[in-house]
Structure 1
Amino acid sequence: MRWTRRLIACAISLCALLGMVRLVAPATGGASGEPHGVQRQLAFLRSALDDGAGDEAQQLFPEGYFFLHALYGLTWVELGMRAPEGDRARTDALREARWSLDRLDSHSGRAPFSADLVPSYGVFYRGWCNWLRGGMLSLQPAAHRDPAEVRRFTADSAALGAAFDASRSSPYLMAYPGQAWPVDSTVAMASLRLHDKLLPPRFTATATRWLDGVRDRLDPRTGMMPHRVESATGAPAEVARATSQSMIQRFLVDIDPVFAEQQYARFRDRYVSRPLGLAPAVREYPDGTDGPADVDSGPLPLGVSLSASVVTAGAAQVHGDAPLAEGLTNLSELLGAPVETPWTKRYAFGLVPIGDAFLAWSKTARPWVSDIPATPPAPSLTWWWRLPLLMLLLAAGVAPWVPALVRRYRGRRRAP
């Protein structure tokens, strides 16, 4: 029994020490460095996808299959962009991104969406696919881009641009029949900006009109883009929520950096908090407001959305908000309890691969069209927010040894 207790105490102390390391070790890699462990995360995700994780994710929420494949491909693009032209890392990234897009450009990838929408299959499907395809072209030297991929990117961008131009009553296109979410149109518009960076520009006027329409339809309670809108008019139908805002803030910087800076400041002020005075987290609803959880937000302990907190790490990184990006990612490293091997890395024992995909995508975030702001926002966090958690982990690591130390002390006191 004595040795069993000692082994358990050693295990607890080791876990506490590991948690302390994860809370302070660099986790994001910044705009140019490769975050530690991301390639091993992708190795795990590829294995999970080959074993049917996409179909399993589809059972959890309507875009599960799509998001798992899309984020896998987008993270590979992010890694490829960090490698010099001609490097094998770019070739590997392009191969995996193409594999991912092939799965999206299939019956399974299109199954949740309607071919009758404009553009076909809706702005969610077309926008994310166009963004990924543009990312793939970014990995290829301009003189050696795949002609078929250039034609498809040009045609899909034209279809999106025509749909935005024709939608005079609302800046937001439908993702499903009769349903529109601003975040989906934001991704699609960012893909048009990416088109104009890679190919001869043609969507400047489209983007200008879109931004004017967005500014005219901001959520009156927060001054931000609403979570959901009336499909016919684009009028706000639901208060801005973090599950969509965290993505909007990631893509908006590639559409209009000035407007994005203003919106990010509002988002950080109203949604980023420190529950119980401890670690940074992101509320699903604005400060002072509560609302119901749903399949996108997940459970909301203390009003916090874990999924939005993960995605916000990427949004913070593209805005140059390194303290918040690092803080949220460190917290994910601690709470996610990653299991690492020399070949793979998975969080929460790999039970929810979609979570791994969002975290890998967030850790590699950087703008694709614009530059990271030269003047980062004023820090909302200092390094010292970690101190209470470090003290708790230290106490947890020491606690199993206290009874033995007390017994030894008492034994010495009794000795003649």
Structure 2
Amino acid sequence: MTSTAAGVGRALRLVVALLVTAAAVVGAVRLVAPATAGIDGEPSGVRRQLTFLRSALDDGAGEQAQQLFPEGYFFSHALYGLAWVDLGLRAPAAQRAQALTEARWALSRLESPAGRAPFPADLTPEYGVFYQGWTNWLRGGVLSLQPADGRDPGELARFTDAAVALGGAFDAAGTPFLPAYHGQAWPVDSTVAMASLRLHDHLLPARFDATVGRWLVDVRQRLDPATGLLPHRVNSATGDPAEVARGTSQALIHRFLPEIDAAFAREQYLRFRREFVASPLWLGPAVLEYRAGTDGPADVDSGPLPLGVSLSATVVTLGAAQLHGDATLAGALANYGEFVGLPVDTPNTRRYAFGLLPVGDGFLAWSKTARPWVAGTPDPPPATVSWAWRLPLLSILLLAALLPWLAMSLRRASLPG
């Protein structure tokens, strides 16, 4: 080998070693740097993430998500609007203009023909409880960003009318779980709708206390017998469990249940955390789709289930933990997300997983901005995650950083004279 070729080889090996070390350092920083800001602070990078999301939505990301699952268009816009409400509620009233504008834009997409398209108009309530619950929750968020004496009359009327329709549907039903589609009901959808009734009574004179009280009594009578949690799916006629509790719906339920009843929410959250939060291969906290010790098939709700973990449930649980005051779990999930999510930054944007699935960015932004709209600040539950969960990953990163330099040292030692 010529001296020139040898020099090029050494330079290439040095560059590789430097790149591997830099990647390991970046990974370590993402594992240990604070990645959440609680319910009052603003999470770092979320505004840039929302800038990316708005651009993606303008370019058709909602329509693309609709090809992946039935509520893809709806969720893509709803999560964008809800994250902006969460950010706006952190700011003084005089600084909420951008949040209000963006949340209104998202709401207009939900109220459009494209937003309503997947949902049957002949259900009670109209278009089903999924559509009405999530849409009215965002309507209430838009109103929350406005001063009480300056709310838009049209927005106020639509919010009130939808709440009255939802309350009437719950009062008339023989089950606490209204249908989202013909003959299909998921408790998580009714949980969101019930939270919107609580939001009504938080913003306006109370009128749904009796409805909420009956709902809580009826829900307690229809819990999943295996876990004591709300089931994933129920018989649409009776509300009886038709499928065991699952991580994807549980994560969403625990984002909304504290807004309805603090005591019931805490009881359910502690059960969920015990049954579904795990550390497969000791490589960080994650949320299982099926409770520990059991398994089941993946589907459009869960996505792929590596080691039984639902990535979507893990992301949403970050927000649920933050809403419950579980700062150690929320922080751990956020750090793990920063590590495995491969965020890419530009001066104006941030995207995760290279921006290949913008609806995933929507779920993450909504989770990192989580804060109560109705409930007060909760008492933190007992911590179950210690800082030590990072040690196996940090050890792997340290080994990865050292190996190229060790290989170069051994190579030099093996060369003659």
Q: Could you state the TM-score of these two structures normalised by the residue count of structure 1?
A: 0.97
Output the CA distance in 2 between the equivalents of 1:409 and 1:55. Answer: 59
Q: Counterpart in 2 of 1:23?
A: 31
Larger mean Cα displacement after TM superposition, 393-402 or 250-259? 393-402
What amino acid is the match of 2:112?
Answer: S
Matched, 1:192 2:200: no
Q: Counterpart in 2 of 1:381?
A: 385
| Contact 2:282 2:392 survives alignment (8 Å) | no
Output the CA distance in 1 between the equivalents of 2:185 and 2:335. Answer: 34
Residues 91-170 of structure 1: pairs in structure 2 closer than 5 A: 91-167=97-173, 169-170=174-175
What amino acid is the match of 1:37?
Answer: G
Output the CA distance in 2 between the equivalents of 1:296 and 1:141. Answer: 37
Residues 3-402 of structure 1: pairs in structure 2 closer than 5 A: 3-87=11-95, 90-167=96-173, 169-374=174-379, 376-402=380-406
Q: Counterpart in 1 of 2:6?
A: none
What amino acid is the match of 1:354?
Answer: V
The alpha-carbon deviation at position 392 of structure 1 amounts to 0.6
The alpha-carbon deviation at position 104 of structure 1 amounts to 0.8
Matched, 1:406 2:410: yes
Output the CA distance in 2 between the equivalents of 1:333 and 1:270. Answer: 24
Output the CA distance in 2 between the equivalents of 1:39 and 1:243. Answer: 26
Output the CA distance in 2 between the equivalents of 1:361 and 1:28. Answer: 12
Q: Counterpart in 1 of 2:3?
A: none
The alpha-carbon deviation at position 407 of structure 1 amounts to 2.7
The alpha-carbon deviation at position 9 of structure 1 amounts to 2.1
The alpha-carbon deviation at position 251 of structure 1 amounts to 0.3
Q: Counterpart in 1 of 2:4?
A: none
Instruction: Report how many aligned residue pairs link the two structures.
Output: 409
- C-alpha root-mean-square deviation of aligned residues, in Å? 1.0
| Contact 2:194 2:212 survives alignment (8 Å) | yes
The alpha-carbon deviation at position 295 of structure 1 amounts to 0.8
Percent of aligned pairs sharing the same letter: 66
SS in 2 for 1:390: helix
Q: Could you state the TM-score of these two structures normalised by the residue count of structure 2?
A: 0.97
SS in 2 for 1:253: helix
Output the CA distance in 2 between the equivalents of 1:163 and 1:206. Answer: 10
The alpha-carbon deviation at position 141 of structure 1 amounts to 0.6
What amino acid is the match of 2:13?
Answer: R
Output the CA distance in 2 between the equivalents of 1:409 and 1:145. Answer: 76
Output the CA distance in 1 between the equivalents of 2:342 and 2:398. Answer: 17
Unaligned segments of structure 2, at least 5 residues:
1-8
Output the CA distance in 2 between the equivalents of 1:107 and 1:173. Answer: 22
The alpha-carbon deviation at position 409 of structure 1 amounts to 4.0
The alpha-carbon deviation at position 62 of structure 1 amounts to 0.5
The alpha-carbon deviation at position 344 of structure 1 amounts to 0.3
What amino acid is the match of 2:407?
Answer: P
What amino acid is the match of 1:114?
Answer: P
Unaligned segments of structure 1, at least 5 residues:
none
The alpha-carbon deviation at position 301 of structure 1 amounts to 1.0
Output the CA distance in 2 between the equivalents of 1:8 and 1:137. Answer: 54
SS in 2 for 1:86: helix
Output the CA distance in 1 between the equivalents of 2:19 and 2:125. Answer: 56
SS in 1 for 2:15: helix
The alpha-carbon deviation at position 410 of structure 1 amounts to 4.7
SS in 2 for 1:237: strand
The alpha-carbon deviation at position 4 of structure 1 amounts to 2.4
Which string of whole-angstrom CA distances, capped at 9 and with x for unpartnered residues, describes residues 97-131 of structure 1? 00001011111100100000001000000000000
| Contact 2:43 2:368 survives alignment (8 Å) | yes
Which string of whole-angstrom CA distances, capped at 9 and with x for unpartnered residues, describes residues 32-78 of structure 1? 11001000000000000000000000001000000000000000000
